[in-house]
Structure formats: structure tokens, C-alpha cells
Structure 1
Amino acid sequence: MTTQISTLGELLSTAGTQWRVYDIGRRITKIDKQQFAQIEATQTPYPYPLGSHALIAIQFWDNQATVDPYVWFLKFPLDEQSKLIVASRDHFASMVLEALGTELTGEHADGKLDNNPYVFTPNANKLAAFNALLKKELNRPASQYYEYSELYFAGKLPSNAWQSLAIQGLADFAYRLEHGQNNINLQTIWPSLPLEVKQPLSAMLEHVEIDTAFSEQLQRAINTSIEQQQLDTLICNLRAISGSKAQGLVAQSVDTLLGCEYRHEADLLLTLAGRCWEVFIDRERLFKFLDCAANNHQIDGLFASIFADLVAIPQLRPHVLSILRADNRSDNLSRAIGRLFS
């Protein structure tokens, strides 16, 4: 039976599990089974590459199980067209079969893949956000830290209570904005939140499709941050709005940023590339963004890094490559592109 297993999807199904796949490299995003099958068959590139790798989370559970699902966090290399290098996937699958057979759940599975070269540990923010998402999707209670966060954002705790907020509690709150008054409470308190809260909270909100009203507030907050010359706050607002349902508002905010005094700042450029890549499907906006990156002189190699990141994203690749042939580039952009091939 095991010799016929050629994909992770087959492995998981043969083991009798129910399973789901998520990208966990950029924005935590569910990948449907049909798309994942096409990725495994190299019929389609991986949609959200990061650093020439696919960073995925596979959640699976036995139909008879009552415990929390198992999760594999896996990192597979991609080729220059962002397609899966299947030899790595096959190697991982063979290691799983050798260690576990097709019994992927149960006590005997614990710890068996700890030293597997394709297994990785996401950072604390991603882990908290992913855990919050799974709890919500499975209709499980939030963590023990959620209630404190809910009280804090409702303004029912002392002003210095933020020092006791937990990362997991912030993640649970971000994924439960539709619960009770959470969304309204957050909009009310957002302008007065200390940076120490905004930074980790925005790292959770970037994975959430916030509504239009909150997006409009964040768009105004971005403009205010520019006027008040608060770069750190500006980046928090940008991260928080980046996953919004109202992508038109995100695009408008990006246009504003590409014309502001911070347009050459490394932190802003990296945030735009990492969180707002979807708006660069517009070639003119992409052109402006790359021109801003070419004018950054804070970090050596920043332009090359951003170029490599964006050209790997399948939906952006043709647009990024078209810049190489454009004849209306600025001198700085032309020089930056020239250095890519020197």
C-alpha cells in the first residue's frame, strides 16, 4: 500500500485522516485541496512563496479523535518558477512512512518527526495567530488569555493593564472581532493604544479580513501618522489594514505611501513587499514601488532582495519581469536593475 503513496494528500487520506492545508509564510491563508493537489503535481506554482520556499501548515485529525488536531509545519524548497521540488516532498513522505507508517495519529506519533529536516517552527506571532484561527474554525473555546484581552480593549481595565496582555490573547481577540462589541471597541481604543500593544496586535490583524469601517479608520490613521512623522505607528496601521476585505482602500493607502516622505525607508518597503504584495498586480504601482526601493540607501542589497521576493510570486512575476524591458525607468532604477545582473 505504501508504495502507491506519491503525494502528501494521498498519505493523509490513506491514513484515514481529515486534513486542511494553509500557507503560513506570508499571510495565513487556507489552500483548498484541489489547488494543493495541483501544487503537488507541479501543474501550478506555489501561490505564496517566501524565500524560495513553501511554508505550509497541515492540520489533520482522526475522525474518531476528540483531542486537538495534529499540525505539521513544513518548509519545502521551490524552483525558479516557484514550483514544488518534488524530490523534497517525496523525501519527507518516505521519512514519515518509515517513522509512522500510515498511522499518523495517536501517542506513538508524538515526537517522531522532531528532527525531520522539513519540519520548522514558525515565530511566536505566527504560532499564536494560527492557533487562534484553528480554535475558531473548530468552534473550540479561545485560550485562557482571551478574556483579559477582551476586557482590556473594552476599556474595563486600568491604563497600564497592557503590560499583562499575552500574545495568544491578542491573537484570539483579532480572530474574534465579530464577537460581541469587539470590533467597535477596537476601533474606539485604536488611536490611544500604546505602541507596545499596536505592534503585536497589528501582527495578528494582518492575517484577518477586517471590515470596511475599520479599514477606513486605518487609512485615515496612516495619513495622520505621515503628518505626525510617526513611522513606527504608520507601519502598525499598514500591517493592520493589509489583509482587509477592502483591498481598494489598501491600494489607496499604498499609493499615498509611495508618494510620502517615508517612501525610501527600508522598514516601510519591506512591509509593503511582505504584506501588501497583492496591490502590485497594478503595473504602474509596482513600477513606483520598485523605483522607491532602488532609492533606498540604508541597506545594501535591499532592492535585490525585494525584487527576488516579488518576482517569485506567480501573479506578479510577469509584471516584475516586464520592468526589465521598460524604457521609461529612472536612472536609479536602471542602475539597480543593472546590478542584479552584474
Structure 2
Amino acid sequence: MSAENTLPDSITELLRSTGAALRVFDMGRRISKLSLDQFRRIEDSQLPYPSPFQHLAWMALLIWNPKRQQENAVWFLRLPLDEQGLVAPAARDDLLKRLLQNVINSQNGQLDEDALKDNPYSFTPDQSRMAAFHALAAREMKAPASPHYERAHAWFNGQLPLDAWQSLAYQGLADVIARLDQDDNERALCQRLADMPAAVLETLCPLLEHTRPSGALQQALHAQLNHALATDNSNRVAALCRALSNMSDESAKQAWVLSVLASVHATQPEVITVIATRCETALMAPEVLSVFLEQLAQGEAGQTGFSRILAELMFMPVHRALILQAFRNPDRSDALSQAIGEMFGQTFDTPPAH
């Protein structure tokens, strides 16, 4: 067998060949764990990416040496997907070739810290995503929270004055949210919500979208959402939608999504976008999808927003089928019919097959 044939044929095999251990996280719509079996099948284009975002697979690979667990590295990767949601093999092969070259060029046959430097498949998460990832990864690795955790914990528990929030580090907030089931954090958060400064609440909500809120936290957040719906603050409505988006009770999620869609905030770009990208499972209910499409057609983002949001949703096969079915509804409004026609560049009677 030639040397070429013995080279690793996947990222998983490459990491194993260097003695590295691996954990994988989805970094797309929200941060969640992917099993190593899922990752290998995704890598081999055998399994559609479960949560595509912007037609890409967004992943974080947490890599460490089991003999020196304090020495770890994180790769943030984004790979293009085909129409079936499978990783494009050419992109996967190109990435693997670049990584193999990095190992060959390294001094010790290991993956350098800058293995992804100038790599077209790498990305840097924004501040919120990075903080949430570090908080969740530390917990996953059974490592302590950051040094900022203690002060944030004290603030949530009322051991610091309310106006001390400006001295809290973002990473500390992320650590508290990642450990809601520890140190009485969830109870403290629920109690603090009622008098929480707007800036803190709108900072916490994107962190909360990566967690499964308990019943008590859902109730507290839902109360805040109802209050926000009665105001003219669409940014707060959108933020609270994000905070509630990962709840497991789909019927309850559908109910509050409908209440948001029935409000004056529904046509605001920031609100309708959050419902499309974070509450997409609620849109699998035809009655919710119907209202969503009508509001989207009348949205402040206009035809461009309508087309972009639907193109994103229709990349997911189940949503595509449901949307095309909803397009055929003879009771759809003239505004929706016109938006559909403009999106497809034709008068819409029967949706195009592709």
C-alpha cells in the first residue's frame, strides 16, 4: 500500500492519528453537542447536517491531548452544504488536505495551534457565541467556570447592588447561564428578572437560547415577553423570543409564537428573523406557519427580507415541503400571493420543483 493510501481519510482519523481526543459542537442556530458518530457521518456526507444555517454547517471542534488535558485547542469550522444538506465532499477534502499539510510542516507531527490560520473554512464567533461556547465547553470538560463567574453569581443573588451590573464581565454572565442548575442560579435569575436593567436582560437572552429553560424560568421569561409585547420595544421582544426559543414544550412554544405574530412587532425585521431562525420548529405547525407567512409578506424588510428568510427556511426539507403546501392555500392574501410571485419571478400557481 502506498504512503498516500495510508493517510487519514477524514478529520476524525487525522485527529486520532495525532493522539488527540475530540468533542464536537454545532455552532449554527444555537450551540449544542454533536456526537462523534454524528460528526463522522456528517463528515462522510452520509448524514444531512441537522441544523444548517445560511446553507453552511457551523461547528466547533474541541481538541485535547488526554495526557495533558489542560492543553486544548478549538477549531471553528464552517463547511458548505449541498441541496440535500450534506457536506460538500470537495470542501471536506480540501480542508483535510490543508490540515494534513499543517501536520507535515509541524515540528513534532502534531497539529499546531494555528492550524486554521488563513484557512477559508475557519470563522471566529461573535462575542456572545464565543462566551457561551467557552462556558458550555468548560462545563462539558468538568472544568471550573471562568474567574468572572463568582462576581456575576453574587450579583444575581443580590449580594451586589443592582447598579453594579456594569462591572460584570460578559464571560461571567455566560458562565451563570451555562450553570443554571448549579449554585441556585436559576432561582436567582428568576427573581432578578423583574427588576433587571434592560441592557442586562437583552445581553442575557442570546445566552439563554443555548439552554433548555425549566418550567419556572419559562414562566418568568414569558411574563417578561407579555410585558414587552405591550410596549413599542421590538428589540426586547426579539431578545425574549431568543431566550424562550429552545424550550422543549412545542405546543407552548407555538402558543407564544402566535401571540408574537399577532402583535404589532411581528412585521419588524428583528422579530420575524428570530422566529424564522430560532423558533423554526414552531413553524412546523401549519396554523403557525400560515400566520408567519402572512406577516412576513407584510414585513418592514420588504420583498428582500421575505425572499431571504424563506430561502433559509426552505433549505430544510421538512420546512420546504410545508411552505410549498402553504403557498397553495387558496385563502392566502393578495400580499402573500404577490410576494410569492416576486420571489419566484412568476405568477405563483404551482410551485417550481427546484
Question: How far did 1:324 drift?
Answer: 3.5
Question: How far did 1:76 drift?
Answer: 0.8
Please say which of residues 177-186 and 229-238 is displaced more in the overlay.
229-238
Give yes or no for the alignment of 1:231 onto 2:204: no
Write the deviation string for residues 5-48 of structure 1: whole angstroms up to 9, x where unpaired. 22222222333222121110111011122222332232332121
Work out whether residues 22 and 64 of structure 2, in 8 Å CA contact, stay in contact via their aligned partners in 1: yes
Q: 1: CA distance between counterparts of 2:39 and 2:113?
A: 26
- 1:177 aligned residue: 180
Work out whether residues 55 and 75 of structure 1, in 8 Å CA contact, stay in contact via their aligned partners in 2: yes
For residue 158 of structure 2, the aligned residue among 146, 155, 160 is 155
CA shift in 2, pair 1:104/1:57, >3 Å: farther
State the superposition RMSD in angstroms. 2.1
Give yes or no for the alignment of 1:19 onto 2:27: no
Question: How far did 1:326 drift?
Answer: 3.3
- 1:269 aligned residue: 272
CA shift in 2, pair 1:14/1:112, >3 Å: closer
Give yes or no for the alignment of 1:126 onto 2:129: yes
CA shift in 2, pair 1:163/1:337, >3 Å: same
Counterparts of 1:1-342 in structure 2, within 5 Å, are 3-4=5-6, 5-101=8-104, 109-342=112-345
Work out whether residues 45 and 314 of structure 1, in 8 Å CA contact, stay in contact via their aligned partners in 2: no
Question: How far did 1:2 drift?
Answer: 5.7
Q: 2: CA distance between counterparts of 1:105 and 1:205?
A: 41
- State the AA in 1 paired with 2:10: T
Q: 1: CA distance between counterparts of 2:343 and 2:253?
A: 29
- State the AA in 1 paired with 2:343: L
Write the deviation string for residues 121-150 of structure 1: whole angstroms up to 9, x where unpaired. 111110100000011111111111111110
Question: How far did 1:164 drift?
Answer: 1.1
Classify the secondary structure of the residue corresponding to 1:94.
helix
Question: How far did 1:327 drift?
Answer: 2.8
Work out whether residues 11 and 102 of structure 1, in 8 Å CA contact, stay in contact via their aligned partners in 2: no
Normalised TM-score (structure 1): 0.93
CA shift in 2, pair 1:116/1:223, >3 Å: same
Q: 1: CA distance between counterparts of 2:344 and 2:234?
A: 33
- 2:352 aligned residue: none
Classify the secondary structure of the residue corresponding to 1:61.
strand
Please say which of residues 296-305 and 208-217 is displaced more in the overlay.
296-305
Q: 2: CA distance between counterparts of 1:29 and 1:100?
A: 29
Work out whether residues 14 and 102 of structure 1, in 8 Å CA contact, stay in contact via their aligned partners in 2: no
- State the AA in 1 paired with 2:237: L
Work out whether residues 46 and 314 of structure 1, in 8 Å CA contact, stay in contact via their aligned partners in 2: no
CA shift in 2, pair 1:314/1:22, >3 Å: farther
Write the deviation string for residues 249-277 of structure 1: whole angstroms up to 9, x where unpaired. 22221011111222211111011112111
Q: 2: CA distance between counterparts of 1:138 and 1:104?
A: 28
Write the deviation string for residues 56-84 of structure 1: whole angstroms up to 9, x where unpaired. 11112222123142211001111223221
Please say which of residues 73-82 and 126-135 is displaced more in the overlay.
73-82
- State the AA in 2 paired with 1:86: P
- State the AA in 1 paired with 2:202: Q
Larger relative CO (CA 8 A, sep 6+): 1 or 2? Answer: 1
Work out whether residues 149 and 170 of structure 1, in 8 Å CA contact, stay in contact via their aligned partners in 2: yes
Question: How far did 1:228 drift?
Answer: 3.4
- State the AA in 1 paired with 2:181: E
CA shift in 2, pair 1:104/1:81, >3 Å: farther
- State the AA in 1 paired with 2:255: Q
Classify the secondary structure of the residue corresponding to 1:141.
coil
Question: How far did 1:214 drift?
Answer: 0.8
Work out whether residues 311 and 320 of structure 1, in 8 Å CA contact, stay in contact via their aligned partners in 2: yes
Classify the secondary structure of the residue corresponding to 1:192.
coil
Write the deviation string for residues 258-313 of structure 1: whole angstroms up to 9, x where unpaired. 11222211111011112111111212211211211111134550001110111112
- Percent identity between matched residues is 33
Question: How far did 1:105 drift?
Answer: 9.1
Name the count of aligned residue pairs: 342
Work out whether residues 132 and 171 of structure 1, in 8 Å CA contact, stay in contact via their aligned partners in 2: yes
Q: 1: CA distance between counterparts of 2:107 and 2:335?
A: 54
Q: 2: CA distance between counterparts of 1:108 and 1:285?
A: 48
